[in-house]
């Protein structure tokens, strides 16, 4: 059997008038186009066409012999064939890249199928001669006569993951996991999430949105930009995901909470304190409109690029004794952990929804984390001077006091993040 191909039995209700059936009831795909193929003569044969979309096939009148060949590059069942007779009581789900063909077994046969993409040229093709048809093939199109045998045909490449904000900390970490065969990485100048380019989204199966407006203080005076990037853009990406049957991964933040709860679970209602937090909370909600979504809430990310850890390491090496707030507590997140957690959800097909992903370990104040950085780079932790947020007084935007995110759900999904202190030690070693 071809991997992913499914034969479904339909209930057909017959009486003196004829019959009635529900041909499709929401299974497997979201239709974007319905096609009807009328075949006047028995023996009429069409195929084999492996287009870059899924199909739901059945008949309205008559009977056909449906036939399929797996032409998906890298498929475990590549080259395998399958056939079955299709009458009113049968429907077949055909995955993207599986070549589809059929032969009319009766005169005046009407073949019907739903697809989850609007038609566009492209795909892979092989000869109808690959199939042992019940009847002598007749009434073939010239194009179908010219298709090559499978051994000489080009397979259909697998769909990729589209990554936005690819030059940030998370995007850089994802580049270390997914190669060019698995993902296309777009920087802001290539894919502006506020005004997405007109791409052929049929070549993708998921979008991972790493793009964000991250200037917490700046958002207080630049609310429109923060809202456009953090709220409007995820809403637009959710619409694209729904239009093309894609999975949307969107990265949210601990700043959607007011920090009054010591540990934040996925079910907690958003209660942002700042313009930045409000924009992230709106994007968090908007992304959940995608039928297939993973909304990832994280906190205090460190990786390739500028972040709190790299700033503290630089200050330590320059002999600076900074004031660091002691009343903002949480768990830092290695960008590597975040990237691996997202990859795990996509690869395992975990239940869609909201997931917290941070590194594991103890909850610590920002001052304690700064001290850990100073120790990690061989400097004196006593050079870090703890102060309250009020005493610090340099932030235009309010911050949550408690930012620790519960990891129970992501662990139950089979992913175990590393301890943030171990991840920090490894990270600091890369800075020296």
Q: Which tokens go with 109?
A: 């046969």
CB 237 within 8 A of CB 230: no
- The mean pLDDT value for 352-373 works out to 98
pLDDT value, residue 425? 96
pLDDT in tens, 61-89: 999 999 999 999 999 999 999 999 999 99
* Same domain, yes or no: 178 and 130: no
What's the CATH code of the domain at 388?
Answer: 3.40.50.720
- The mean pLDDT value for 372-387 works out to 97
Q: How confident is the model at residue 414 (pLDDT cuts 50, 70, 90)?
A: very high
Residue at 1 is within a domain:
no
Q: How many CB atoms lie within 10 A of CB 92?
A: 20
Q: What CA–CA distance (Å, rounded) separates 7 from 55?
A: 12
User: How buried is 144 (Cβ within 10 angstroms: 0-12 exposed, 13-18 middle, 19+ buried)?
Assistant: middle
* Same domain, yes or no: 168 and 119: no
Domain count of the chain? 2
* Same domain, yes or no: 50 and 103: yes
- The mean pLDDT value for 228-234 works out to 98
Domain boundary among 92, 126, 152: 152
Q: Which tokens go with 344?
A: 């795990």
pLDDT at 242 > cutoff 80: yes
The one catalytic residue among 65, 128, 276, 374: 276
* Same domain, yes or no: 120 and 171: no
DSSP 27: -
The domain in which residue 312 lies consists of 160-431
Q: What CA–CA distance (Å, rounded) separates 303 from 368?
A: 19
Residue at 231 is within a domain:
yes
Residue at 125 is within a domain:
yes
CA 390 to chain centre: 40
* Same domain, yes or no: 346 and 411: yes
Domain boundary among 97, 125, 152: 152
CB contact set of 168 (below 8 Å; sequence gap of 6+): 210, 211, 212, 305
Distances (CA, A) of 317 to 80, 314, 381: 61, 5, 12
Q: How confident is the model at residue 121 (pLDDT cuts 50, 70, 90)?
A: confident
Domain boundary among 152, 182, 213: 152
Q: What CA–CA distance (Å, rounded) separates 375 from 304?
A: 20
- The mean pLDDT value for 180-194 works out to 95
CA angle, corner 205, sides to 204 and 211, nearest 5? 75
Report the percent of the chain where pLDDT is more than 70: 100
- Structural Rg of the chain based on CA atoms: 27
DSSP 148: P
Question: How many Cα neighbours within 13 Å face the side chain of 234?
Answer: 31
Which phi-psi region, left, alpha or beta, contains residue 187 (left: φ > 0; alpha: ψ -120 to 50)? Answer: beta
pLDDT value, residue 313? 97
111 is catalytic: no
What's the CATH code of the domain at 29?
Answer: 2.60.120.10
Q: How confident is the model at residue 217 (pLDDT cuts 50, 70, 90)?
A: very high
pLDDT at 432 > cutoff 90: no
Q: How confident is the model at residue 175 (pLDDT cuts 50, 70, 90)?
A: very high
pLDDT at 202 > cutoff 90: no
* Same domain, yes or no: 13 and 49: yes
Q: How confident is the model at residue 156 (pLDDT cuts 50, 70, 90)?
A: very high
Place of tokens 């690819």: 166
Whole-structure pTM value: 0.89
Q: Which tokens go with 427?
A: 């990270």
* Same domain, yes or no: 370 and 396: yes
Question: How many Cα neighbours within 13 Å face the side chain of 151?
Answer: 1
pLDDT value, residue 247? 97
Of 103, 117, 109, 116, the residue nearest 47 (C-alpha): 103
Q: What CA–CA distance (Å, rounded) separates 57 from 50?
A: 14
Question: Which segments of 200-303 does DSSP mark as H helices, in order?
Answer: 223-227, 233-243, 275-287
- The mean pLDDT value for 344-366 works out to 98
CA angle, corner 260, sides to 257 and 265, nearest 5? 55
Q: How confident is the model at residue 28 (pLDDT cuts 50, 70, 90)?
A: confident
| Mode of pairing for the β-strands spanning 329-330 and 364-365 | antiparallel
Of 226, 166, 164, the residue nearest 197 (C-alpha): 164
Residue at 107 is within a domain:
yes
Per the DSSP assignment, residues forming a β-bridge with 110 are: 38, 61
């Amino acid at each position: 059997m071809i991997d992913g191909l499914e034969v479904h039995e339909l209930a057909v209700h017959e009486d003196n008038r004829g019959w009635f059936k529900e041909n499709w009831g929401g299974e497997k795909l979201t239709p974007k186009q319905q096609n009807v193929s009328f075949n006047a003569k028995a023996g009429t044969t069409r195929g084999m066409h492996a287009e870059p979309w899924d199909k739901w096939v059945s008949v309205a009148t008559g009977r056909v012999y449906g036939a399929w060949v797996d032409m998906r590059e890298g498929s475990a069942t590549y080259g395998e064939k399958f056939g079955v007779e299709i009458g009113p009581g049968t429907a077949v789900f055909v995955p993207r890249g599986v070549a589809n063909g059929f032969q009319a077994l009766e005169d005046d046969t009407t073949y019907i199928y739903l697809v989850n993409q609007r038609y566009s040229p492209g795909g892979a093709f092989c000869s109808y001669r690959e199939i042992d048809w019940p009847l002598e093939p007749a009434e073939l199109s010239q194009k179908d006569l010219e298709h090559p045998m499978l051994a000489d045909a080009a397979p259909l490449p697998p769909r990729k993951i589209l990554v936005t904000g690819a030059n940030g900390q998370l995007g850089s970490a994802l580049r270390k996991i997914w190669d060019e065969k698995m993902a296309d990485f777009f920087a802001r100048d290539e894919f502006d999430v506020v005004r997405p380019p007109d791409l052929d989204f049929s070549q993708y199966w998921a979008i991972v949105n790493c793009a964000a407006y991250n200037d917490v203080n700046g958002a207080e005076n630049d609310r429109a930009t923060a809202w456009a990037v953090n709220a409007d853009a995820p809403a637009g990406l959710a619409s694209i995901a729904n239009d093309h049957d894609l999975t949307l991964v969107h990265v949210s933040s601990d700043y959607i909470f007011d920090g009054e709860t010591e540990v934040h679970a996925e079910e907690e209602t958003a209660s942002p304190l700042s313009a930045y937090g409000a924009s992230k909370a709106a994007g968090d909600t908007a992304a959940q409109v995608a039928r297939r979504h993973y909304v990832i809430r994280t906190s205090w990310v460190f990786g390739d690029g500028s972040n709190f850890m790299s700033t503290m390491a630089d200050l330590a090496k320059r002999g600076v004794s900074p004031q660091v707030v002691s009343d903002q507590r949480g768990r830092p997140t290695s960008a590597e952990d975040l990237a691996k957690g997202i990859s795990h959800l996509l690869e395992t097909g975990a239940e869609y929804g909201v997931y917290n992903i941070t590194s594991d370990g103890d909850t610590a104040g920002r001052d304690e984390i700064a001290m850990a950085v100073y120790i990690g780079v061989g400097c004196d932790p006593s050079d870090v001077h703890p102060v309250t947020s009020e005493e610090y007084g340099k932030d235009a935007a309010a911050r949550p006091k408690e930012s620790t995110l519960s990891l129970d759900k992501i662990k139950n999904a089979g992913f175990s993040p590393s301890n943030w202190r171990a991840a920090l030690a490894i990270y600091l070693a890369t800075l020296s």
